[in-house]
Amino acid sequence: MVIVCMNTLILYMIKMSLKIFNVKTLIKVRQSYNIGDIVAFSIKSVIICVIIKNISLYEERVFMEELSLKSGRSVLSDRRIQKMKHIFYGFLICVFIIVLRLFYLQIESCAFLRRMGEHNFLRTEVVPPLRGNFLDCNNVLLAANRPVFDLYWQGKGSSLLQPYHYELLRKVGFIAGSDLLRPEVIQSVHYAEQNMRRTLLARDISFEALCQMSEQCPYVSNIFVENRFKRVYPFKSFASHVLGYLNRIENCGKSGLELLFENQLQGESGHITRITNSRGKSLSCKEFKHAKAGDNIQLTIDFQIQQLAETLLDPGQVGCVVVSDAETGAIRAMASFPSFDPNFFLGTITQQRWKEEMIANNPMLNRVCSAEYPPASVFKIVTFAAGLEEDLMQESSEVVCKGYVNFCGRNYYCIRHSGHGKLCMKDAFAKSCNIQCFEIAKKIKIDKLADYAARFGLGQKTNFLLPEKRGLVPTSSWKKENKGESWWRGETLSASIGQSYLLATPLQISRLVNSICTGYLVKPRLLETEPIEREKLRLAESTRTFLRESMKEAVNSGTGWRLRSLKNFDTYVKTGTAQTCGLLKEITSARQLEHAWLISFFSYKGGRPLSLVILIENVGSSLPAIVATKKFLQGYERIIEMQKSV
């Protein structure tokens, strides 16, 4: 009797366990029972089974002893008892395995099974966020977002496409300017129609086409228009090397500030979760989360000054222009030529189109901070500063230029081979005479000259936001390490006029000219929120005054004399012509012509001082840079006067 009761009780427990752990009701059970309850129930089940087993064995033994005493013989043999034990232990093990399996399904795999279940009736649509805008210092939009309309077919559950479906596709395709009766489109529409799904028919249809569809197909439920936003650069190549561009597929920044501030610009996506039936038809909206737009970023760029800077070079010329606030380092204009249109990367690019537009002259290169050039006569600022600081010359000294000097049996020529004659120091600087630099170079070591170059920030990065090159200021140890030979004294003469191994970026030169204007090395800034960082220029004030006066003299009677006709400007200038090949080598192509430099700082009618750096590649002399500078100053005057009249 006890054995029968025991078996009945065990079967009842198994039934209850299977009912509780039914896989089909897994989600509901997960909500009704916590982990502690389930574990406790499993342990209690095992304990009860063990107790019942012991009780049954005891009752069985007592019962058999009573029978044996009464009848004098054993009712059950030992073999039968052992068999029953084995069956019970096997049964117990099976129950334990079932409990473990159900524990794994309910606890360990709960999240996975829930997702699988929800996938059957929930559909989540991502709501893309608006990308942050770029603004100039006066809140002019430089990069924004435009609305885009995409055309979709919304299936209604028909098993076959009807004739009016084909007619609708033909009409809509004609308005959208696309053939929607192509076999692959029909196949996609057929599948969407059968399964109540949505399929794309056309991207970025025009607003005019959208209006025509609303007039000609006003009550058609199969046609669905979805609105989204797409990046747009309204001024095309305007400041393209600063702004950068986006990847069309991933819609993320690939260069410039678009890449640098990707996290701030992209914002946070939202989503819509809908409950659908087995055929995909939306029944209701379960959850909706708004997308969070990206942050707007305000630049130090001035739209009008940038627009002016981008007109300075002639078509086909290669180079760059940098305009900055001399006191704060704020970049007001940064133009690199040739430039590119960031909108180019938002559409499909064929190989032929890429070759035509993106190969010649490397338009992707930002020549302001990622290209290095010999500084040429601009470096004479460093050489004259070193001569004054090291007492190798006096401001009142004079030099006689015969057109060349002889050093160690070799002639080193001035820019005017016929010679300048007798010059004071300011005139020697203003007329860009090489002879005084050669005289200083005879008395100074290259390492000392490199030290003064470093004081002006050459040979080191400016900590600018965009990627930049370091430039090169050679030393004796540098040459030994990189060229495997000692530094020759004659090479110092070439270095003193900005040639030899010297290299600098136009951005470094902009920082240099700002330091002469203000007495501080200021970090170039592109964002209005960037702090102003500057350090004292390690030169005597008298030396800086000499350099300022000499640059002023360059406008009055030196290489920048073409700018002296501009009234209301207080202008300081230094020109340079950078050699690109040996002087004795025959010039066979335009690539071998010299680069033109012009650096300047100026103020208009006592206003805030700005600096201007212009570099034009392979034009043979500094004249094109001087012409571009005059054009800029005249345009700047118009901008200021127009602002005053508003």
Transcribe 607-619 into DSSP letters: ---EEEEEEESS-
Per-residue model confidence (pLDDT) at position 65:
53
Per-residue model confidence (pLDDT) at position 370:
96
Beta bridge partners of 122: 275
Q: Check the CA dihedral 176-179-184-189 and report its sign.
A: positive
**pLDDT one-digit tens code per residue, 499-555:** 999 999 999 999 999 999 999 999 999 999 999 999 999 999 999 999 999 999 999
**pLDDT one-digit tens code per residue, 65-108:** 554 545 444 544 667 777 777 787 888 888 888 888 888 888 88
**pLDDT one-digit tens code per residue, 123-161:** 777 878 899 999 999 999 999 999 999 999 988 888 888
Q: Check the CA dihedral 122-125-129-130 and report its sign.
A: negative
At residue 591, φ and ψ (nearest 5 deg) are -65, -20
More reliable by pLDDT, 84 or 440: 440
Q: Which CATH number does 334-339+367-645 carry?
A: 3.40.710.10
> How far is the C-alpha of 538 from the C-alpha of 519, rounded, in Å?
9
DSSP 8-state assignment for residue 302: -
> What is the DSSP code string of 237-296?
TTTHHHH--B-TTT--B-SHHHHHTHHHHH-B-EEEEEEE-TT--EEEEEEEEPPBPPPP
> How far is the C-alpha of 267 from the C-alpha of 130, rounded, in Å?
7
Q: Judging by DSSP bridges, how do beta strands 520-522 and 421-424 pair with one another?
A: unpaired
**CB distance 635 to 340 below 8 Å:** no
> How far is the C-alpha of 125 from the C-alpha of 556, rounded, in Å?
69
- Tell me if residue 220 falls in helix, strand or coil: coil
Query: Where exactly does CATH 3.90.1310.10 map onto the chain?
Result: 124-298
> How far is the C-alpha of 160 from the C-alpha of 166, rounded, in Å?
11
| Inter-CA distances, 397 with 325, 354, 394, 424, Å | 34, 58, 5, 6
pLDDT higher than threshold 60 for residue 608: yes
Question: For helices 506-518 and 541-556, what crossing angle results, to 10°?
Answer: 110
pLDDT band at 55 (very low <50, low <70, confident <90, very high): low
pLDDT higher than threshold 60 for residue 193: yes
CB atoms within 10 A of CB 90: 10
DSSP 8-state assignment for residue 440: H
At residue 411, φ and ψ (nearest 5 deg) are -90, 130
Tokens at 95, concatenated: 């129950």
What's the whole-number average pLDDT of the chain? 86
> How far is the C-alpha of 546 from the C-alpha of 137, rounded, in Å?
34
Per-residue model confidence (pLDDT) at position 46:
54
pLDDT higher than threshold 50 for residue 19: no
Instruction: Name the nearest CA neighbour of 128 among 264, 289, 346, 296.
Output: 289
Q: Check the CA dihedral 513-514-515-517 and report its sign.
A: positive
**CB distance 35 to 107 below 8 Å:** yes
**pLDDT one-digit tens code per residue, 239-258:** 999 999 998 877 899 999 99
Per-residue model confidence (pLDDT) at position 278:
65
Question: 124-298 is classed in which CATH architecture?
Answer: Alpha-Beta Complex (3.90)
- Tell me if residue 424 falls in helix, strand or coil: strand
> How far is the C-alpha of 424 from the C-alpha of 430, rounded, in Å?
10
- Tell me if residue 225 falls in helix, strand or coil: strand
pLDDT higher than threshold 70 for residue 62: no
| Inter-CA distances, 609 with 135, 424, 503, 571, Å | 23, 28, 27, 10
Per-residue model confidence (pLDDT) at position 430:
96
Q: Which amino acid is located at 626 in the chain?
A: I
More reliable by pLDDT, 365 or 90: 365
> How far is the C-alpha of 153 from the C-alpha of 222, rounded, in Å?
5
Query: Where exactly does CATH 3.40.710.10 map onto the chain?
Result: 334-339+367-645
> How far is the C-alpha of 322 from the C-alpha of 334, rounded, in Å?
5
Question: For helices 35-71 and 78-103, what crossing angle results, to 10°?
Answer: 170
Q: Judging by DSSP bridges, how do beta strands 134-135 and 198-205 pair with one another?
A: unpaired
pLDDT band at 51 (very low <50, low <70, confident <90, very high): low
**CB distance 592 to 583 below 8 Å:** no
Q: Judging by DSSP bridges, how do beta strands 141-154 and 520-522 pair with one another?
A: unpaired
Average pLDDT over residues 359-382: 94
> What is the DSSP code string of 477-497?
HHHHHHHSSPPPHHHHHHHHT
pLDDT higher than threshold 80 for residue 600: yes
| Inter-CA distances, 238 with 137, 139, 233, 244, 358, Å | 15, 15, 8, 10, 16
Beta bridge partners of 400: 422
**CB distance 299 to 136 below 8 Å:** yes
Per-residue model confidence (pLDDT) at position 227:
86
Compute the chain's Rg from CA coordinates: 41
Q: Is 481 exposed, middle or buried (0-12, 13-18, 19+ CB in 10 A)?
A: exposed
**CB distance 180 to 169 below 8 Å:** yes
Per-residue model confidence (pLDDT) at position 428:
96
> How far is the C-alpha of 270 from the C-alpha of 125, rounded, in Å?
9
| Inter-CA distances, 456 with 380, 535, 598, Å | 12, 11, 17
Instruction: Name the nearest CA neighbour of 287 among 302, 296, 275.
Output: 275
